[in-house]
Structure 1
Amino acid sequence: MLLRVQCDQRQVRLLLAPLVEGTGEAVELQRGKIAIAPEEQGACLWYPAEVEIFNEQFEQMLVEIVSIFSHFAGEESGKRFEHLIQKISNNEPKQTHCEVFFIGLKPSARGKGIGKILLQPVLDYADTKQVGCYLVSSNPRNISFYERHGFQKLCPIEISNSYSMTGMWRDEC
């Protein structure tokens, strides 16, 4: 079941405040960077090495998101989301790195090189700054895509008895 929540601009700004500043179409990311494919076929949100992802500001945003999940989808859904984030943050690498926080494509955009285009700025940044790059693959089918771009499996992240994610690492070049 897909849950769609309508938010007004005030609510969107509140939820995204830890990530963005500004209003309307002129939005500058304070902490992360975002790439959006033409015709909104996909997007990639990533963090440079200088940014501490799981800081107090981010934690507050997660509290708000858990509250929204709980309100609209039930308290149990909110607890599951909170558990997921905790498991992911517990496996965060300690060494300096950039991080792909989210990358996703519309199904119709898959297999057309758009994922590679969205990922390339992150890899270029990592190579230029000579830092590693980390991501968590939520789908085993995507692992070969990441491996083709130099990532290796780092650790399994067991979310439940029936579902796990994979932490992946790309060494600095």
Structure 2
Amino acid sequence: MTQTMVHRVQPGELDRAAATVGEAFLDEVVSTWVLPDPVQRKQILPQQLHGTVVKAMDRGEVLTTADFGAVSLWIDREAGETEHERIPDDLEVPAEFSEILKRGMLVDELTEARHPTHTAHVYLQCIGVLPSHRGRGLGSALLRDKLARTDAAKLPVYLEASSTRNRALYLRHGFELSGDPIRFPDGPEIYPMWREPSPQV
């Protein structure tokens, strides 16, 4: 079996990594709930996720496979740290975007309410795999690379799995379900998961 090469995304590679994440998440369940119109989703989501990739590079690391077929975003979180972006009261939002904004803020609110704060950990914000590259084990390769290092650093890892298929992948890599699913109104449910560091042999 050929080993998939993984490397840390450098600043000059940011746009390419963001393009992968943007394309990978066009059919993701939370993205389609927040942005149900496919035309709007294709216009808005890549720009939004570009900022998410920048944030991960600033506060953790972004990993990719050799051909940028898959990208993962990891953020370092300290004990007691919380994060919730509040929209200014005087922000004027065009009517056609108000529902999108409300749904996006609700995702942020519900996920942050469940995010562990009792100890320092690494937050796997997402793994995005291009549709043309799925089923090749790229997500597992990204997980193995990072989890080997979180184990060495004795750091736990937290994530929210957005599908039962992803949940099964993470269970195979040592994650456990962390309470009930997070449910969005008239929308999908996602699965908070936690992984304690594995003992080093």
| TM-score by shorter chain over 0.5 | yes
How far residue 71 of structure 1 moved from its aligned partner, in angstroms, is 4.8
Q: Residue 151 of structure 1 aligns with which residue?
A: 175
Mapping 1:152-171, distance limit 5 Å: 152-155=176-179, 156-171=181-196
Aligned residue type for 1:141: R
Q: Residue 113 of structure 2 aligns with which residue?
A: 90
Q: Residue 172 of structure 1 aligns with which residue?
A: 197
What are the Cα deviations for residues 14-64 of structure 1, in whole angstroms up to 9, with x where unaligned?
9469727xxxxxxxx221200122322111000135598744xx737xx49
Q: Residue 79 of structure 1 aligns with which residue?
A: 102
Q: Residue 43 of structure 2 aligns with which residue?
A: 5
Q: Residue 36 of structure 1 aligns with which residue?
A: 64
> Relative to structure 1, is the Cα distance of residues 73 and 168 closer, same or farther in structure 2, using a 3 angstrom cutoff?
farther
Q: Over the residues paired in the alignment, what is the CA RMSD in angstroms? A: 3.3
Aligned residue type for 2:170: Y
Aligned residues: 154
Identical residues among aligned pairs (%): 26
Higher relative strand content: 1
Q: Residue 59 of structure 1 aligns with which residue?
A: 85
How far residue 163 of structure 1 moved from its aligned partner, in angstroms, is 2.1
In 2, distance between residues paired with 1:32 and 1:47? 4
> Relative to structure 1, is the Cα distance of residues 53 and 125 closer, same or farther in structure 2, using a 3 angstrom cutoff?
farther
Higher relative contact order (CA 8 A, sep 6+): 2
Other structure's SS at 1:36 match:
strand
Q: Residue 55 of structure 2 aligns with which residue?
A: 19
How far residue 107 of structure 1 moved from its aligned partner, in angstroms, is 2.0
In 2, distance between residues paired with 1:150 and 1:135? 12
How far residue 152 of structure 1 moved from its aligned partner, in angstroms, is 1.0
Gaps of 5+ in 2: 1-36
In 2, distance between residues paired with 1:132 and 1:17? 21
Gaps of 5+ in 1: 21-28
Residue pair 1:98, 1:122 contacting (<8 A) in 2 also: no
> Relative to structure 1, is the Cα distance of residues 73 and 150 closer, same or farther in structure 2, using a 3 angstrom cutoff?
farther
Residue pair 2:53, 2:73 contacting (<8 A) in 1 also: no
How far residue 126 of structure 1 moved from its aligned partner, in angstroms, is 1.6
In 2, distance between residues paired with 1:126 and 1:114? 19
> Relative to structure 1, is the Cα distance of residues 53 and 40 closer, same or farther in structure 2, using a 3 angstrom cutoff?
farther
In 2, distance between residues paired with 1:90 and 1:15? 22
> Relative to structure 1, is the Cα distance of residues 143 and 16 closer, same or farther in structure 2, using a 3 angstrom cutoff?
closer
Aligned residue type for 1:4: K
In 1, distance between residues paired with 2:76 and 2:142? 15
Q: 1:101 aligns with which of 121, 125, 150?
A: 125
